Amino acid sequence: MSLFLVTGGAGFIGSNIVEELLNRGERVRVMDNLCTGRRDNLAFVERLQCPTAAFEFMEGDIRHLDTCRRACHGVDYVLHQAALCSVPRSMNDPSASNDVNVCGTLTVLMAAREAGVKRMVHASSSSVYGNSEVLPKTESQAPSPVSPYAVSKLAGEYYCQVFTKVFGLETVILRYFNVFGPRQDPSSQYAAVIPRFIQLALDGKPLQIHGDGLQSRDFTYISNVVDANLQAAEAPDAIGHVINIACGQTSSVLQLADAIASTLGRKLEYHHTPARTGDVRHSLADISKAQRLLGYETHVGVFDGLRNTVTYFQNVRARHG
């Protein structure tokens, strides 16, 4: 069994990765400062009845080198998910996004190198492409970030590539495209559109749509992202590469809203608000590189994933009244 460190492992994406690793019989160490992650997201650990040696939780901050050194000790693979993941948050507080996403990533890289980690998989973002009208987005396109969040993610990518070229630490960079699914937090003021829409719909409130709702995204169900991370940890030809992780199809915000209404079997009211500064208008991924280097395939499409996610939030609501 390998030992995986999942930074941000109590968060939305991280906890889903942890669950799959444990299901596969791997050993997992989670490091999370619980700023945006929640211990509740790891409740499945008790249900899985894993041996004590299979799972470890460390409350700690990726910006602290000594903490990262302890977290990386004895680790084979680092799956680096910890970040402040929000364009609006970065517009309000650019310094915080830089501190966590740039300085924190550099700190994890330094600790991983010192510990002799085999490989680090870094979670980046499609936001680095900016507002380029060229679709689909290919990894060879020049980045053109339009938010501090996007800048911070791009800087993290560059640090990973430098650590591979100069220090010999294997890294793989995954550019996520609008990930959604179970455990995504709908309550934050910076919540992503899908959990926010589902929560509003279940509350019987109008869906708040920024702008005209025709902005489109390559929405990507969480299980596809989990698969990509585990593939990237071991794919021999992926070292040093930036790789898009998405579904390779685009959906507008209005199409999402209509699909949620259809899934719930009810008509929903929409309320349009001004478009947000820093938002990208359209995004669509070319995923051929992921298919070639990782053997990646999209196993769950957007609308099947959306139905799964609605069901998840309905079940959570039923359990908690």
Task: State whether residue 252 is helix, strand or coil.
Answer: strand
Domain assignment present for residue 205? The answer is no
Q: Give the number of other Cβ atoms within 10 Å of residue 137's Cβ.
A: 24
The CATH number of the domain holding residue 296 is: 3.40.50.720
* Domain count across the chain: 1
Pairing of strands 216-217, 251-252: antiparallel
Asked if residue 199 belongs to a domain, the reply is no
CB of 38 within 8 A of CB of 16? no
- Helices 193-202, 253-264: axis angle to 10 degrees equals 40
- Most confidently modeled range among 47-56, 233-242, 310-319: 233-242
Can you tell me which residue has the tokens 């959306």? 306
**Catalytic amino acids?**
149
- 194 domain-assigned: no
Q: Residue 163's closest CA among 123, 106, 115?
A: 106
Residue 45, in any domain of the structure: yes
Q: Binning pLDDT at 50, 70 and 90, where does residue 190 land?
A: low
Which residue range(s) make up the domain with 81? Answer: 3-180+219-248+284-300
Percent of the chain with pLDDT over 90: 86
Average pLDDT over residues 86-94: 89
In the block, residue with structure tokens 């719930």: 264
Considering the domain boundaries, does residue 195 fall inside one? no
For residue 254 the two structure tokens come to 């209005």
Does 203 map to a domain?
no
Instruction: Give per-residue pLDDT as tens, 245-290.
Output: 999 999 999 999 999 999 999 999 999 999 887 777 888 999 999 9
For residue 187, the model assigns a pLDDT of: 79
Output 46 or 175, whichever has higher pLDDT.
175
Could you give the angle at the alpha carbon of 121 between the alpha carbons of 83 and 11, nearest 5°?
35
H/E stretch holding 170: strand 170-176
What pLDDT is stored for residue 224 in this prediction?
98
Residue 321 has pLDDT above 70, yes or no: no
321 belongs to a structural domain: no
In a domain, 27, yes or no: yes
